[in-house]
Amino acid sequence: MLVGEIMKNKGVGVIAVAPDQTMLEVLRLFRDNNIGFVVVSQSNDEYLGSLSERDCCNAVAEYGAEAAMMRVGDVMNRNVATCSTRDLLPSVMGIMTQRRTRHVLVLDGGDVVGVVSIGDVVKHRLDEAQRTEQDLQDYICGTRYH
């Protein structure tokens, strides 16, 4: 399965924040949208980095209560894990494992088109396993085969 196919099923787009927003604003955005990752950008054309729930936890651990009012640009991850819409899912799984990240930014020709999360990977693998199980059951029972 290509990452681009997952993006078609999931839908393209990302939620972006400005680097001058506070972590508290972004944490509320996380809560309100049931997400754990945003792109940090000044404009729609480029990204500066990302901010995840883990980045926020690390900032609180390092700076204490004052972290909530820190600017996103001061705590964001500048070394964002990325992949292409033409990459295979096992490649993205490898990136997630190697980089110990739950989110990979999806690029298409340099443009940000979306995010693949560990949840997206699990959903795809679960759907795949269920299809395989059904195919095996049909084969054993002799249904759907002529």
Q: Quick one: tokens of 78?
A: 């500048």
**List of domains in the chain:** 3-141 (3.10.580.10)
Q: Which residues of 55-74 are buried (b: 16+ CB within 10 A; e: fewer)?
A: bbeebbeeeeeebbebebbe
- pLDDT tens, residue by residue, 68-118: 999 999 999 999 999 999 999 999 999 999 999 999 999 988 888 999 999
User: What does the pLDDT read at residue 145?
Assistant: 62
